Amino acid sequence: MSDKFYRVITHKSNEFEIFDGSETLTVKARGKLKRDGEILVGDFVTVEEKNGEMVIKTVKKRENSLIRPAVANIDAIVLVVATQPKIDYFLVDKMIINCKRMGIECIICLNKSDLSREIFDELTAQYKNEVSAIVAVSALNNEQSELYPYIKDKLVCFAGQSGVGKSTLTNSISGTDREVGKVSEKIGRGKNTTTSASIIITPSGLWIIDTPGFSMLDVFEEDYRTLAGYYDEYVSLADGCKFHPCTHTSEPDCKVKRAVESGLLNKDRYERYLKIFEEQKIAYKNAVRR
Ligand SMILES: Nc1nc2c(ncn2[C@@H]2O[C@H](COP(=O)(O)OP(=O)(O)OP(=O)(O)O)[C@@H](O)[C@H]2O)c(=O)[nH]1
Ligand SMILES: [Mg+2]
Ligand SMILES: [Zn+2]
């Protein structure tokens, strides 16, 4: 008989809530599985009885996973941004890179559009060719219909900086009442109100994940020379570069650099690319040395 699989819905330290389609159980992890990252929200797990309590026995091999937010086996990321707290474009770039590495669809969602839609054009200029969609919503006013076509029939994870309104938005979509924080007037940031990822199954059958905000994303330990492969616009021009492969950094006769100079490609995004490339190079060289 094959073991039955449960989906990890959420966890608090070593207590996991798991769901099999009708039933929810609270179980613990033991031994090696207790280590951070061994069991993620979104994982499929089997259970067994040990000393009179149900514990997680195995974790099914993942289709994909992210470190921040810490989730597994998701179909799409809705990357939530807002004008308040101020958008961090490096974070957006890195999130898109991480999604592409994992084969996860990415949607950019400008929330708080009741306050300002000013950055919508900027988001479009920078990311229109890199993500499935860029939509504007206002969770506060329950205006999020633009998002629905992209979150149907998927496990969708809401991610982004603290205070952008991920909980407000997932509450508004699901009719739940999870805790919402404030954006500090002093530091202009959210306060990490949400502390662990949770799958919410809405009355209409959507599967969405609210996650804790973050302000930093690490680069990954992968050869930095592959970085341009996660920029679709650069990939589409790379054939025209003199060198193959071309990292589009210091090589002569580079089509990408020419496209940046002529204004065909967004300059700010390219300048951040150069910085991420350097960061990636250092991380990679340190990893190789280890
Ligand atoms: N004006 C406006 N404010 C919003 C909107 N959505 C959320 N907010 C406010 O933004 C603040 C932060 O909202 P949260 O939902 O807690 O943000 P979060 O992204 O979940 O933050 P963390 O859990 O810390 O990561 C709250 O004061 C919300 O009321 C919106 O559409 N418009
Ligand atoms: Mg939250
Ligand atoms: Zn090039």
Ligand nearest to the CA of 273: 3
User: How far from 173 is each of 5, 28, 278, CA to CA, in Å?
Assistant: 27, 30, 40
Instruction: State pTM to two decimals.
Output: 0.96
Atom 13 of ligand 1, residue of closest alpha carbon = 165
Distance between Cα 24 and ligand 2 center (Å): 23
pLDDT of residue 189: 86
Domain(s) labelled CATH 2.40.50 in the chain stretch across 6-59
Among residues 203, 198, 154, which one has the least CA distance to residue 175? Answer: 203
Taking the C-alpha atoms of residue 148 and residue 113, their distance in angstroms, rounded to an integer, is 17
What atom in ligand 1 is closest to the CA of residue 195? 23
pLDDT of residue 3: 86
pLDDT of residue 2: 62
Taking the C-alpha atoms of residue 101 and residue 20, their distance in angstroms, rounded to an integer, is 29
User: How far from 230 is each of 54, 97, 167, CA to CA, in Å?
Assistant: 42, 6, 29
Taking the C-alpha atoms of residue 133 and residue 148, their distance in angstroms, rounded to an integer, is 12
Domain(s) labelled CATH 3.40.50.300 in the chain stretch across 65-210
Fold of 65-210: Rossmann fold (3.40.50)
pLDDT of residue 15: 95
What atom in ligand 1 is closest to the CA of residue 213? 25
Distance between Cα 208 and ligand 2 center (Å): 13
Ranges of the chain with pLDDT below 70: 1-2
Architecture of domain 224-289: Orthogonal Bundle (1.10)
If one residue of 115, 140, 184, 191 were mutated to test the ligand 1 pocket, choosing by the most ligand atoms within 8 A of its CB, it would be 140
Domain 6-59, CATH number (from 1.10.10, 2.40.50, 1.20.1300, 1.10.287): 2.40.50
Question: Do 94 and 276 meet the contact criterion of CB atoms below 8 Å apart?
Answer: yes
Among residues 165, 164, 152, 162, which one has the least CA distance to residue 208? Answer: 152
